[in-house]
Amino acid sequence: MIVVCQNPVKETLTPSPNGVIQKFYTSQVYRAGTVSAWINGIKLIAGWEDGFTETGVKEVTLKETPLTGDSIQAEYEPA
């Protein structure tokens, strides 16, 4: 089977971190297993204690709560 990959999307996730929320959203539906995430430019590892999980078609849940002013970015292949 041939899998056609889309050009990856890299963007800042929403909403802005406020020191409480851990769920952030992409602007497009992502293809499962293609998400990479960063806090303030530091790459997070999916599944690690301080990493993230893909929790929905547009949702990413960080395992540690980012602080107000932190920058949360992700790169993924659109579905």
pTM for the whole structure: 0.89
- Residue 6 pLDDT: 76
Provide mean pLDDT across the span 28-38: 96
Domain ranges of the chain: 9-76
More confident call, 3 vs 49:
49
Residue that has been written with the tokens 């970015």 in this structure: 73
SS3 category, 31: coil
Beta strands in 1-79 (DSSP E): 9-12, 23-25, 36-39, 42-44, 52-54, 59-62, 72-76
